[in-house]
């Protein structure tokens, strides 16, 4: 998930396209990386530190306060997926009914959260949005590559994605 070299060619191309477009929208890769670094400075619970993070040239806002318990569960689920080498969460594989209920509640809470990245100089650039989950079905949940890039992985993933050539 966070190791660019372990991604498939299709995943690499998709991430390259998403990061390239995001960088273009905010005025360049450096501005995008500065925003990612500002998020990383907030540590693991950046999502619980209000609904806005500001860097020198860009701002990321989200439309809903995320409480620490949901953020911790989200990071736990993502950590487990990373350790297993999985890209998506399969709810059918969760054996514990209590854990499954907590995860489903987290999914319902976080599904409507939308992040908006706004450049400070909006003359030449435009804002863009993304969500935590790219797709959700009854049994599978796919995380948004942009969310993973911004909040979970190091900036190295984004740098490698930008340099990627098919």
∠ Cα 151 153 154 (to 5°): 105
Cβ density class 49-86: b for 16+ within 10 Å, e for less: eeeebebebbbbbbeeebeeebbebbeebbeebbeeee
pLDDT value at residue 88? 84
Angstrom distance (rounded) from CA 28 to CA 13: 19
When divided into structural domains, the chain yields a total of 1
- The Cα-based distances of 60 to 1, 82, 86, 117, 120 in angstroms read 22, 25, 27, 4, 11
Cα of 49 vs its chain's centroid, Å = 16
Sequence-distant (6+) residues with CB within 8 A of 64 are 51, 112, 113
Domain that holds residue 148: 4-163
**Per-residue model confidence as pLDDT tens for the chain (166 residues):** 788 988 999 999 999 999 999 999 998 999 999 999 999 887 667 788 788 998 988 999 999 999 999 999 999 999 888 888 787 888 888 888 999 999 999 999 999 999 999 998 777 688 999 999 987 777 889 999 999 999 988 899 999 999 998 6
The per-residue DSSP string of 36-89 comes to HHHHHHT-TTGGGS-SEEE-SSEEEEESS---HHHHHHHHHHHHHHHHHT-SEE
Query: To 10 degrees, the CA torsion angle through 22, 8, 137, 80?
Result: -100
């Amino acid at each position: 998930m966070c190791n660019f070299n372990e991604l498939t060619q299709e995943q690499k191309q998709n991430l390259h396209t998403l990061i390239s477009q995001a960088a273009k929208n905010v005025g360049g890769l450096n501005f995008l990386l500065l925003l990612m670094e500002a998020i990383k400075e907030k540590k693991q619970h950046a999502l619980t530190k209000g609904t806005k993070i500001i860097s020198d040239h860009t701002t990321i806002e989200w439309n809903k306060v995320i409480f620490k318990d949901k953020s911790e569960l989200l990071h736990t689920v993502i950590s487990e997926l990373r350790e297993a080498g999985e890209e998506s969460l399969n709810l059918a594989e969760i054996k514990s009914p209590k854990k499954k209920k907590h995860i489903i509640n987290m999914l319902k809470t976080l599904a409507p959260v939308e992040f908006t990245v706004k450049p400070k100089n909006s003359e030449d650039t435009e804002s863009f949005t993304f969500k935590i989950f790219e797709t959700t079905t009854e049994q599978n949940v796919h995380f948004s590559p942009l969310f993973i890039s911004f909040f979970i992985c190091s900036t190295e993933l984004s740098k490698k994605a930008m340099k990627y050539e098919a």
